[in-house]
Structure 1
């Protein structure tokens, strides 16, 4: 679901097509075993978890190992990426797209570690994620969502071309119950028309 990817959206994941996927300051790349310490440090944050659907809190070493293992699995219309700073190669978050329920739409999800909030890095990562999803898959529409209390994630989706669809409720493990969300969609034809979006950030 929500905000900057639950990192676990469903039981499948991948790294489907050519990597890395470059943006201006970030790169989407394979999640590696040597990312474990940074992954656990950044993901073990109640505020991050409360804005996602299935991210546990506390986020343990076991959770980190499970996420890294899922990154090696291959499924159609699905990918999980480490978001890295291009300048250092350091892991700063996770981005992914996946089918959450059989026969359902492809959802995007993303999260950044708290030290990297408010710098426009999530927007760059989602642009790269969307480009990857539409370029290397036969997907006609992507969906994204954010908690209604998360204006930063809403801005990321809107700046990435997503359009408001409706509101709903979803269970958030990290929040400990159901939370209201806003749902957004981005069609392939709209994405094509916005391909020069790097100028509009």
Structure 2
């Protein structure tokens, strides 16, 4: 996912939604300081960074510490989670949603470490992320995007109910410049009709 999947939440408030968010094989909860080694190992990957907007490469222990500290802060219509394997509890990626600016639309972002690609885990995580956003916040629409060269992320968005909106360009730190993206939206009304993820789809 391109848009701000490891962006930082910089305001604190009293809005805090319940945790963790469970799926079949993954669980979303807060990243912790004991996740630092896994964060650096998985995020310090040029291919991962090139598919995101804000992830630096190389990804350092200081980047990981900052992410963990910022994930502890919450604000309205925002959350950042560690994606964990339920079987082991190990961090395998990060997912978040947040407005890009104070009055702007709410964007989702996510990434998985490369060893965990192609197993349906990102789709599970995004389903849980979307459920969390719509259940605990007054959000009418979520937006997501992916690089046009990232068919796996496109499939995750489509399987999660997102509908294609348009194409645009965005700057990616990891890619070292501007890259073309596809932008998608998911309305609350559509989410409600698809709430039993996987049923009839």
1:155-187 Cα offsets, whole Å, 9 max, x none, are: 000000000000000000000000000000000
Quick check: 2:8–2:71 contact (8 Å CA) kept in 1?
no
Q: Secondary structure at the match of 1:165?
A: strand
Deviation for aligned residue 1:197: 1.8
Quick check: 1:98–1:108 contact (8 Å CA) kept in 2?
yes
Root-mean-square deviation over aligned CA pairs: 1.7
TM-score (norm 2): 0.95
CA–CA distance in 2 between the matches of 1:52 and 1:110?
9
Quick check: 1:13–1:79 contact (8 Å CA) kept in 2?
no
Which residue of the partner structure matches residue 53 of structure 2?
53
Q: Secondary structure at the match of 2:154?
A: helix
CA–CA distance in 2 between the matches of 1:91 and 1:13?
24
Which residue of the partner structure matches residue 65 of structure 2?
65
1:59-108 Cα offsets, whole Å, 9 max, x none, are: 00000000000011121100000000000000000000001122110000
Quick check: 1:13–1:70 contact (8 Å CA) kept in 2?
no
CA–CA distance in 2 between the matches of 1:28 and 1:182?
26
TM-score (norm 1): 0.95
CA–CA distance in 2 between the matches of 1:36 and 1:66?
10
CA–CA distance in 2 between the matches of 1:200 and 1:108?
24
Runs of 4+ deviating beyond 6 Å = none
Quick check: 2:40–2:60 contact (8 Å CA) kept in 1?
yes
Which residue of the partner structure matches residue 6 of structure 2?
7
Which residue of the partner structure matches residue 141 of structure 1?
141
Q: Secondary structure at the match of 2:68?
A: helix
